[in-house]
Structure 1
């Protein structure tokens, strides 16, 4: 999606679309006139969201119930991206974290995190950009996290997965942008999505000023996409934090990590 192009009659596919950032993308895009394809695991919640958005805005809403941590789930969404009415915008929002450190984790839990945060993003991006580059236009937003800019969550593999998402998006964009397709990493900080509560992560010690609302995250993300940016970090305070994480000496980041090891289960995004 480039600046000046009207979204009328265009179609966006959003994963993790029944809650948090994904649900806000669905609401915002529907309000802008986009037809939608919504993806999530829970078929009943998907149907409810689709009915609400269709009733409110009158635009078509398709649903694909799929668990993107499985090969079958990824395959179902890949097929929708490559067959049928073209998808002009893919929002890879589905993701997860773990309420445990790596020392207390299991191969099964870590593998599921990687399959959802990394493997699914890779597969769906690859499926989407083929038809997009053939048409000469389209865009992908991969929802990453500011946590990917540095080892700020001791013992957690979540930042590593999001570091991959950001680097992957920047790298792929270098090859697709000349063919009219933009790939952008959206890197929010702590955002009120309900994910922490669902994972049982206690965030009561987090200062109120550190929280972002989903409306700001999605609004700034879409604004940055239209500006042609490759990495979007919503809010000035988190842009400053991202710059510090990217340029601070690694020894300083490690010292900070040791000082915050008691908060190692806090997950931005």
Structure 2
């Protein structure tokens, strides 16, 4: 089975994050960058499918030069190779343009199964799996907490607020996963050393047949006009009970529209 895992490099969620003042995009140079946490679960699930059914696992990333660091980290977990879509014109791309680029790259790879995280920690829009599946004309099995493969049939337990739904589809398909699906493995020293020798193919927009005007700021369907940092947390309001504490507490909650 030909499995492709979508991996995104994002600013470390444990560090201070900000937007660039010049173009209102995420400032990826101001903090340490890591593999999107949910994508590590996608990598692990792809490796489990390969171990059970054979095949090859390819990591697919769209991002600047520095994304190569996350590519090697992903490869150290066990995938066979990687593809890096790299082009200066991609900066400022919206989710719609990103899905177009990734779908074009996936079309060249001929994946039977595409696995990705349900969301990224920098965007958190949860729409790319659906958009990519629509562009490829394949099924989207999203929000999986469990994935079973039986030949060309995929069965997913789709996590919901009330429990889960059982959804099935035939390959090729796109599956997005939550962090409830498995426990990602740690890269071993052998895996880290082996990752340095694994092939990484670089693709440009020209390779994918996409014009620069279709992506980046020129091709964006949405844009951030302005931003401001969240104000520091205040000390709050202290209610001292002097016989009317309950009334004052309810009045405060009503003012804040909690009741």
Q: TM-score, normalised by structure 1?
A: 0.37
Bigger share in strand: 2
Work out which of the two has the higher radius of gyration on C-alpha atoms and give 1 or 2.
Answer: 2
Bigger share in helix: 1
Higher relative contact order (CA 8 A, sep 6+): 2
Q: TM-score, normalised by structure 2?
A: 0.38
